[in-house]
Chains A and B, each alone.
Chain A
Amino acid sequence: MYQTKYHKAASFDDAVAALGAAEDGKYLAGGQTLLATMKQRLAAPTDLVDLRGIDGMVGISVDGDSVTIGAATTHAEVASNAALRAVIPVLCDLAVLIGDPAVRHMGTIGGSLANNDPAADYPAAVLGLNGTVITNQREIPADEYFEGLFTTALDEGEIIKAVRFPKPRRAAYQKFPNPASRFALVGVLVADTGDGPRVAVTGAGSDGVFRAEALEEALAGGFSAASLEGASVDSDGLMGDIHATPEYRAHLIGVLARRGVAAAG
């Protein structure tokens, strides 16, 4: 790791000011991607501005059929929060599949969404459940937030404060882990929302998380595994690497979507 300067921000203004003053600064949340990248000398921010101490960044609040999760809430907390499980259990089920216990106790939902790794799990949750990303400046609907590999709608210096999820009628997340890294080789979140079915796919798209429109259309005729028989996903635009070809990923998306719909009940 190269030399870097650490700041602990007490407020959003404090954080924005610290980043603005830095030569090449980065916000720090759980650090589970950023610190590992810095240790390998693949990233070299001059300054790190830690957001975790800002008031209101941590915690899960349930308000009727809506849940708001503070951006610095760890995956372990999301996985084990009883109030959250009572309303949107799929978020708990998804969070417990992220990384290993050490990662889950450090990594945060805000950090994951700001990084937008194409194989991360949370982007599928936010896009599949039609969540809203709340920043220090505005609210960004899921369909407008994810812009590509490691790219989001966040402006320079903009900070995710929280994520709000509406309660779906039913939903499930199916993850096919990369055998080596155990990131999602393909992850599919299916949700029967008040506004129709949503199918969000992570791990597979060349441009990151995406909605599988063909599958959503098939499910519009009825939220059941039977509706998905014969529906397929085009392998164009899917990633190919040593672990999976685009064709295999396309096939897995169909399998996981069917299993997800069946699991959602």
Chain B
Amino acid sequence: MSTGIGARVKRKEDKRFTTGQGRYTDDVRVDNQAYAVFVRSPHAHAKITGIDKSEAEAMDGVIAVLDGHQLTGDGIGNLICGWAVSSKDGSPMNMGAWSALATDTARYVGDAVAVVIADSRQEARDAAEAVVVDYEELPVVVTSDKALESGAPQIHDNAAGNLCFDWEIGDEAAADKGLAEAAHVTQMRIVNNRLSPNPMEPRSAVAIYDSAEEHYTLYTTSQNPHVARLVLSAFYNVAPEHKLRVIAPDVGGGFGAKIYIYPEEITCLWASMKTGRSVKWTADRSEAFMTDAHGRDHITNARMGFDQNGKITGFKVDTLANLGAYMSLFSSATPTYLYATLLSGQYDIANIYGNVKGVYTNTVPVDAYRGAGRPEASFLVERMMETAAREMGMDPAELRRRNFIGSFPHQTPVIMTYDAGDFAGNLDMAQKAADVAGFPARRAEAAQRGKLRGLGYSCYIEACGIAPSAAVGSLGAGVGLWESAEVRVNPVGTIEILTGSHSHGQGHETTFSQIVAERFGLPIENVSIVHGDTDKVQFGMGTYGSRSGAVGMSAIVKAMDKVEAKVRKIAAHVLEASEDDIVIENGAVKVAGTDKQMLWHEVGLAAYTAHNLPAGMEPGLKETAFYDPVNFTFPAGCYIAEVEVDPETGVTKVVQFTAADDFGTIINPMIVEGQVHGGAAQGIGQAMLEGVVYDQDGQLLTGSYMDYCMPRADDVPFYTIEHNKTVCPGNPLGIKGCGEAGAIGTPPAIINAITDAIGNNDLQMPATPLKVWTALQAAAKPMAAE
């Protein structure tokens, strides 16, 4: 069986994961290990007027009780946002100060105020309860719209009216003109609900300080250990980079929440130096709900205009993005450059204008979560299209067809240049697989059972493979977004791939091996993947934004190009042939048209013995490459959902779900299908089940699984998955990326289907039974059996 590109190879890493032999951060046990427990603010907004540590310090096992004044006193820097966004008047964003341990003011429930280091977790927890913090409560605001009202509580001194930035994209006058000329204008207010990321493994850190070397080691649950090291070193002043090793071992899911550097890792590193003990912290689930960066939380008002033929004439969008109490690492980019640059969707729209206000509230910081800005854009555009079709009495698929972009490259008015796609083909494929033609009969049959059946489309597009370094640099990014790889051919011919990508569930150990197996004709067992350790891998930007295939693998390909070039030179020399005649196939390096060959491992051995190399050639067979993408990649597809609503209760079941995705080249279809399944489950979660709720005092009402509804197996349907393929011209393998598509494309399909079923377009996520029932009560006319 082939193990190369396109093969359904079973995941190499699953043996250790399914037999309990994974090694996660909390599994790390080191000498001299102590435990950290954080003292957290129970108030959403309060002045800290005093901290009495005396009782806690005297308790059994307590090594130290440390606070924010000590931390800042030791020169530990404030947390930063790594992407500078400017307001439309040219002024820079107003970044509020965020100390890893709050000094004067706590700004959300869970804000860390002090830390207890003790011999055991139990003792640390007991002592944390004995730390007496005096608070002077301040007024609280939790929603972005209320935070902008005059008289709202002021959260940061340097952000008047809680406005962090007032950003724009596109041409407002052109959009206004397009709308003025429209024959029909669809207007909607759309809330993109706030989500809690809920990776299976909570965040964790183990910090080890070596006082003789003044060197730190941090084990942590990170999607990007090199970025963590860079930020910890350059901004938080923990240690210079060469004195700081960051290891992200097996990581149990990230979904974006493990991109960021959080107060806890910083504090553990500092506390390990301060106490001379290794310090471990692992979040419990309550802390995860309270402190992991949340996702989404947009309030958007939008207008889309159409001419007599249904052609879009203008699109104007006004979005409030809740940033939470502080700016997380990429929180400025998520609701701006990762969101509004996709307002064109799959459509040829000449006139687009978007305005996004980033707003502080007394809630946990909000940042990228699977999809990151793109689900918000896709939900907005696809809800607008479906609603417009209904208002104009058009078939929603036909309205989309009339507006699809049909030729590439296509420059949108909101920065992006789409490089390739087949939007009509995706729609055709999905309609056929979903048997849309048979829907009226299915709807009638459901009506006989007393159920309201609805069908909804979503033609999503996203930008992945983030991203050309110069391009993101010009947009404000503080880092380049290339990737690096090293290919090490051992003297026996086996291969280690060192990659700056990080696998936390994606299956890199399998897919990365497949591209090596394909290239050199080797069994994938002969390839191993090394990642997640700054001492082993020279550098890397990590895994998020569906970039490991398009960017990470491209770096591996570039390094393999260099290896192959050297292999050819060695073989040509040893076999006394021309380099041009050398071919590599099935694990052998041959002279074309002859029986002369070297086996792969013989080339490896020749490189390392160096007994007979071309004159001047360095020994060894190891190459490094950095790959900087030339463009974003643009995965796109069409999802069609069918739901059945029980009109008596509002209970909604997704009864059919069809995805036709164009991910470009697919390395392992099984893994890609798994990504779509997981993404779609998250999308169904957002659409129907999940929603973070704070009360008006800033208390988190959805602080556990008793109230925060994660999708369970019986909440999701069997999926029908189809693949269209237009090859991405921007990278050597033609990959677009698949990690986020499900989470991006699914919510609009679900809500479009439910609103179709109930005959009321006014429905916000999550469409719980309560909300669906309420919308049914409000529907102008009952839409039962037609």
Contacts and interface: CB of A to CB of B under 8 A. Distances in A.
Contacts of A252: 649
B701 interface: yes
B395 to A, nearest CB: 33
Contacts of A242: 693, 701-702, 707
A179 B693 contact: no
B773 A248 contact: yes
Contact of A244 (B125, B705, B708, B770): B770
B286 interface: yes
B769 interface: yes
A251 B773 contact: yes
Interface residues of B, number: 21
Contacts of B648: 255
B1 interface: no
Contact of A180 (B125, B649, B708, B773): B708
B649 A255 contact: yes
Nearest to B709: A180
B689 interface: yes
Given A242-B702, A243-B768, A176 B649 contact: yes
Q: How large is the interface on A (under 10, 10 to 19, 20 to 34, 35 or more residues)?
A: 10 to 19
A61 interface: no
Contacts of B770: 243-245, 248
B576 to A, nearest CB: 70
Contact of A181 (B689, B701, B705, B773): B705
Nearest to B768: A179
Contacts of B125: 41
A4 B709 CA distance: 32
B706 interface: yes
Contacts of B407: none
Contact of B774 (A2, A179, A248): A248
A40 interface: yes
Given A252-B649, A255-B649, A179 B705 contact: no
A180 B774 contact: no
Nearest to B701: A242
Interface string B761-785: 0000000111001100000000000
Between A41, A179, A252, the greatest number of chain B beta carbons within 10 A of the residue's beta carbon is seen for A179
Contacts of B649: 176, 252, 255
Contacts of B126: 2
A183 B704 CA distance: 14
Nearest to A39: B284
Interface string B227-254: 0000000000000000000000000000
B769 A179 contact: yes
Contact of B706 (A180, A248, A255): A180
B56 to A, nearest CB: 16
A251 B708 CA distance: 23
A252 B773 CA distance: 10
A48 to B, nearest CB: 18
A244 B769 CA distance: 9
Interface in B650-693: 689, 693
Nearest to A3: B122
Contact of B707 (A2, A181, A248): A181
Interface in A216-249: 242-245, 248
Nearest to B708: A180
B286 A40 contact: yes
B707 A180 contact: yes
Interface string B689-731: 1000100000001100111111000000000000000000000
A261 B708 CA distance: 32
Contacts of B707: 180-181, 242-243
A179 B715 CA distance: 10
Between B129, B706, B774, the greatest number of chain A beta carbons within 10 A of the residue's beta carbon is seen for B706
A98 to B, nearest CB: 15
B480 to A, nearest CB: 42
Contacts of B693: 242
Contacts of A244: 770
B689 A179 contact: yes
Contacts of A176: 649, 769
Contacts of A180: 689, 702, 705-710
Contacts of A183: 706
Contacts of A248: 770, 773-774
A40 B769 CA distance: 30
A18 to B, nearest CB: 25
Interface string B95-130: 000000000000000000000000000000110010
23 contacts: A2-B126, A40-B286, A41-B125, A176-B649, A179-B689, A179-B709, A179-B769, A180-B689, A180-B702, A180-B706, A180-B710, A181-B705, A181-B706, A183-B706, A242-B693, A242-B701, A242-B702, A243-B768, A243-B770, A248-B774, A251-B773, A255-B648, A255-B649
Interface of A: 2, 40-41, 176, 179-181, 183, 242-245, 248, 251-252, 255
Given A40-B286, A183-B706, A248-B770, 18 more contacts: A2-B126, A41-B125, A176-B769, A179-B689, A179-B709, A180-B689, A180-B702, A180-B705, A180-B706, A180-B707, A181-B705, A181-B706, A242-B693, A242-B702, A243-B707, A243-B770, A251-B773, A252-B649
Q: Nearest 8 pairs between A and B by C-beta?
A: A180-B709, A181-B706, A179-B709, A255-B648, A242-B693, A248-B770, A180-B707, A244-B770
